[in-house]
Structure 1
Amino acid sequence: MLYHFSEDPSIEIFKPRQSSSFPNLHPAVWAIDQEHALHYYFPRDCPRVIYWKGEKTKEEDSESFFAETSTDKIIVIENSWLGKLRSTNLFIYSFSPESFELFEEAKTAGYYISFKEVKPLKVEPAGDLLDKITKEKVELRFTPNLYPIRNRILASSLDFSIIRFRNAGGKEQLGND
């Protein structure tokens, strides 16, 4: 089963659309696999940095990023999104995987695409998002500024997914402050 998350509960047909993140890709319908569905239990526009240990993770990165936790995945969002996380009504659309293929450019993030219109098998409310997230084997962290952790993750050997970062409210700090 593949999934799509939306704040709109009334989508009957998903039509391929152009991706701003991958402008050279033909219009597509996007879905996520079960393993990575947790990454989408957030308001649509909520910027988040998600990172985990992968096959190519170096021991020093594992120790640096996971020394104080018992989990293998960490999700970081900005403090200012907590209220919206608590109040968003999110809906989970389920798809048959038949017309989808793994999106190779970001395969560690669990993205699947279809170049055809797709009718969902069902749609259901996600419920309490904070409750859903905290029931998973993941650590949820809050920060006033996502730029420092994003920059550290990009320079690491960890697997990651950085979602809706254009909406980050913090500012990148350059030089010595």
Structure 2
Amino acid sequence: MRPEPGQVLHFSEDPTIARFVPHVAATAQQPEAYVWAVDYDRAPDYWFPRQCPRALAWVTPETTDADRERIIGPGGGLRVHAVEYGWLERMRTTELYAYRFDARDFRSFGEPVHAHVAEHEVRPLGPAEPVGDLFALHEQAGIQLKVLPTLLPFWARVVTSTLEFSGIRLRNARPAPPE
């Protein structure tokens, strides 16, 4: 589930939202009120239950072969997502929906760009669309999905690598085991 050209997506477990009003998210790192959406490249970051902690990493031109092999693994493709075992059942059973928006209502956010925001009320282009099987989405996109007891040791390796990365809801991750 990705946006078409000229669109951005918002993912939700609620299929009944008719209008999106800017708000300050509980996890916001800035005080401004926004409606959040993502583009084609960042849509896979949200193929998860909302509260699921996840560590995401992908290859860029600056990525070294050593880091690619260490983080993604040989023959592992260009991108890896990691989740914890405790979230597998929720990934199997969560009904996730995507709302499509006209990208012209949004502006790019972040450097590098990791989201798109609207500072005014926006309405979806149509009804919420079921996203479908979250595991199948990963497979179809060629994204490796790692399942770990806890994300934090993996995350520590990712953030010191030459891969680009994103960590979402990491505050919900299980504590790392004592060394």
Q: Same fold (TM over 0.5)?
A: yes
> Structure 1: where are the runs of 5+ without partners?
none
Identical amino acids, percent of aligned pairs: 34
- Could you say if the C-alpha distance between residues 129 and 162 of structure 1 is closer, same or farther in structure 2, counting changes exceeding 3 Å? same
Structure 2: which amino acid aligns with 1:135? Q
Which of 88, 97, 109 in structure 1 is aligned with 2:103?
A: 97
> Structure 2: where are the runs of 5+ without partners?
1-6
1:133 aligns with 2:141: no
Cα deviation, residue 106, structure 1: 4.7
User: 1:21-32 to 2 correspondence within 5 Å?
Assistant: 21-32=27-38
CA contact (8 A) 2:71 2:157 kept: no
User: 1:45-84 to 2 correspondence within 5 Å?
Assistant: 45-84=51-90
RMSD: 1.6
1:112 aligns with 2:116: yes
Partner of 2:4: none
Cα deviation, residue 153, structure 1: 1.0
Distance 2:72 2:87 in 1: 24
Cα deviation, residue 8, structure 1: 0.3
Cα deviation, residue 68, structure 1: 2.2
TM-score normalised by length of structure 1:
0.89
TM-score normalised by length of structure 2:
0.89
Distance 2:95 2:21 in 1: 22
CA contact (8 A) 2:57 2:80 kept: yes
Q: Which deviations, in whole Å up to 9, do the C-alpha atoms of 1:51-99 show, x marking residues without a partner?
A: 0111332343223223423410000000011100000011110000012
Distance 1:70 1:23 in 2: 33
Partner of 2:93: 87
